[in-house]
Amino acid sequence: MEIGSVQKVIITDYLHDGSGLGRLSGQAVFVPGALAGEEVLVEITAQGKGYVQTKLKEILLAHPSRVLPVCPVYGECGGCGLQHADYELQLEIKRRIVESALHRIGGLRDVAIQPVIGAAAPWGYRNKGTFRIGRISGRAVLGFYEEGSHRLVPKHCEHLFSSSVTVLLSYLEEVLTEQGFGKEGHIDRKTEIDHIMIRESRYKGEILLVFSCFDELAEDIKYIARKVCDKFSMVVGVCRNNKGKIHIVEGRDRIEEKIDDLLFDVSAKSFFQVNTEQAAVLYRKVMEYVGSTGQELVVDAYCGTGTISLFEAQKVRRVIGIESVSEAVRDAKNNAVKNGAANVEFKKGRVENILPKLVKDGLRPDAVIVDPPRRGCDKRLLEAIIEAGPVRIVYVSCNPSTLARDIKRLAEGGYAVAEVQPVDMFPQTAHVEVIILLQRKRY
């Protein structure tokens, strides 16, 4: 098939990123924006071994659940790639993505996958955003990069964030324009802000701003911080991040969030789920899977700010949380005190180093919870879990592919998948959070 040629394709399934999948002349055809069951015309844009990349040209037969995207930059910005499907169909697409990964990578074909738990609010749910800076017609603009490129889409998206964040972003654009930021062409990185991160507490409405830039801009950021804090009372802190080191410019370096009845300090660098409401759904399900007689010893690997650890501490005898980010461990310890949890211990370090040592020293937990980054678990961690032999493993993942890979190793180590529960933490996107309960086989 020649590059640039137009072909007719019937879409039969989905890829991991939510794109439609069809076949032509024995080759897989990838079609972003297409839905299973649709007949479409596509333009061939690239070709690889056994597959072709395409661009959707025309929909000849549309899926009955196809809808018009609400965002004016849909198709440019890589943030919300499933807007063309109604929400119920989005949930089914995510279930199929999980199923495909478990079958194809994990070799798990007889595992029942529960329907995806959807969000009550599929818009305006994000409590965190990272915004790039550009300049259009002499004006500084904040937005996201186009997917797969460094081209800025000049739209900061009022559909994913609260109205407070949207208003703040517009004001920031005014101040950045006034200060001459967002320069065009080749620039000295020491004289430009790389990006701005915004965290918002859904509990108190507090907002934390973090400017990523070199120290040379310290006075400029101080000026911007004062203007922002004078105008917006909900901005409780402004910080600078220079190569991972956080400097407080105004106020404080954290906000307070609440999930169910638990309070959490969340600082600039700490991991915290971007969907506060769905995080509560996720953590309740984790507690259900761990189970409780009140006597359990539980290890929470990649514990972040201690959210799951503190949920578990309400029901079990003891929790050991392990986390490598210093700021997150500090937050976790503060959160334990804040919530009166005396049965939680937090250890700083890489999980793949700490847990094997604890197991070697005789630690035998009743349950292990893992919630790793997208790359999944280190092999040393998986081997240590298998050696420790907990009755239950609860694996929480934002990447079905690495999840499936790790589950395969745990299955080889004597564990069986008891249940798979996807949770939609990221509506309008193809991303999906998955919780898997594994139980130790009896021989």
Using the structure block, give the residue that is written with the tokens 């949770």.
Answer: 423
Q: Which of 77, 157, 213, 398 is catalytic?
A: 398
* 8-state DSSP, 143: E
Distance CA 37, CA 22 (A): 10
Copy the structure tokens of residue 142: 């904040």
Number of other residues whose CB lies within 10 A of the CB of residue 212: 16
CA–CA separation, 428 and 120 (whole Å): 13
Catalytic, 398? Answer: yes
User: At 23, is the secondary structure helix, strand, or coil?
Assistant: strand
DSSP secondary structure, 199-223, as one string: EE-TTT--EEEEEE--GGGHHHHHH
C-alpha span between 220 and 210 (Å, rounded): 13
For residue 28 the two structure tokens come to 């897989």
Strands (E), 297-404: 297-301, 318-323, 344-348, 367-370, 392-397
Sign of the CA dihedral running 95, 98, 104, 109: negative
HEC secondary structure over 382-418: HHHHHHHCCCEEEEEECCHHHHHHHHHHHHHCCEEEE
Contacts of residue 3, Cβ cutoff 8 Å, sequence gap at least 6: 44, 45, 46, 47
Nearest to residue 297, comparing CAs of 367, 205, 393? 367
Amino acid at 88: E
Task: From residue 262, give the alpha-carbon distance in Å to each of 265, 308, 314.
Answer: 10, 11, 10
Answer whether 301's CB lies under 8 Å from 324's CB: no
> Hunting for tokens 């509560």 — which residue is that?
280
Q: Which helix (H) or strand (E) holds 76?
A: none
| Positions marked active-site | 398
